[in-house]
Amino acid sequence: MATGTDLTPAAGGEPAAGAAASPVGVAPAAPASRRRAKRPGLARLGDLRKLIVPVAVLVLWQIASSTRLVDPRFLPAPTTVLDAWGVWIFGERSPLAWYSGTWAEYVFLSTRRVLEGFACAAAVGVFLGVLIGWSRLVSDLVDPLIQLVRPIPMTAWLPFATLLFGIQDTAAVFLIAMGAFFPIVVNATAGAQRTPRILLRAALMLGTPPHKLLYRVVLPAALPSIFTGLRLGMGIAWVLVIVSEMLAVKGGLGYSLWTAYQFQRMDLIIASMFSVGGLGYLFDRILVAIAGRTLRWAQGL
């Protein structure tokens, strides 16, 4: 929103077609797909259907490794990976075996770095993105710099972070925060820009002061886009924690993956990859659950 009398977002959108057809105060009916999903039988069938492809891949992988259609040195069987993973999780700690009993410690280190970097990116990205989408002044001042820096690959920031912070956690957190920041700020900006003008006019007619429109109307209207940006940012954070831990810090899943590569332990490389994938999926589901609770109004519930 430009300062003064202009009370519309920087690039405000109109309500979607058909949005005004619902009577005021009456929630639209849930889509047929959502009504079907609430039936217990269909819900269980949907859960089982999600397992078909992963189970098929594991079976084919086991067959290919057992029959030596592929070289087990380059693609060990799932059972071999599970055995190595078990030692990594439950094995006795030993200075002669870096991979024995260190999994929980490495998961903790990686998770802490991801959460620290993601929290910084989310706080700055949401705040700045909503301001850019709402105020033409902030957009003109800040958005060109963001669009200039955004195309720079995150790996290009790794030498900069290492020289600036040294081989320590701060370098990894900086890299994660930088990578997660851009999808968050871009989506927050888009959400604020799409705030329907009719909501702004209605809020003003109901007595909302103009200086309170930002957090009473624009921020709630931008929440669906903000959560999309948060999910994208969380995924990038788990990608970058591996990159940063390979070179910028000691310890963590990225460090274990790089060490396993140096010792040509393909089973531990795959275990590290699945560990990162599982943690990334877990945190994405947490964000989806939070979004589902927060955005119930957007789902017609």
State the sign of the Cα–Cα–Cα–Cα dihedral 192, 196, 201, 206: negative
C-alpha distances out from residue 267 to 75, 90, 114, Å: 8, 16, 24
Q: What is the pLDDT of residue 214?
A: 84
Spacing of C-alpha 272 from chain mean position? 19
pLDDT at 96: 66
Closest CA to 175 of 190, 191, 159, 187: 159
Q: Phi/psi zone of residue 92: left (φ > 0), alpha (ψ -120 to 50 degrees), beta?
A: beta
- Compute the average pLDDT of residues 230-237: 97
Alpha carbons 33 and 9: distance in angstroms, whole number: 34
Candidates 248, 244, 268; CA nearest to 256 is 268
Q: Tell me if residue 197 falls in helix, strand or coil.
A: helix
pLDDT the model gives residue 282: 96
DSSP output for 104-150 = HHHHHHHHHHHHHHHHHHHHHHHHHHHHHHH-HHHHHHHHHHHHHHT
Query: Do the Cβ atoms of 216 and 203 come closer than 8 Å?
Result: yes
Q: Output the pLDDT for position 9.
A: 52
Per the structure block, which two tokens stand in for 38? 């609430």
43 — pLDDT class (breaks 50, 70, 90): low
Q: What CATH number does the domain located at 109-299 have? A: 1.10.3720.10
Q: Is 60 exceeded by the pLDDT of residue 213?
A: yes
**Residue 300: predicted pLDDT:** 54
* Residue with more model confidence, 91 or 107: 107
Query: Can you read off the two tokens belonging to residue 3?
Result: 């300062």
Q: What's the predicted TM-score (pTM) here?
A: 0.80
With a cut of 70, say whether residue 244 has pLDDT above it: yes
What is the pLDDT at residue 143?
94
Q: What is the pLDDT of residues 117-174, one digit of tens each?
A: 999 999 999 999 999 999 999 999 999 999 999 999 988 898 888 888 888 889 999 9
Q: Burial, 250: exposed, middle or buried (Cβ in 10 Å; 0-12, 13-18, 19+)?
A: exposed
Domain residue ranges in the chain: 109-299
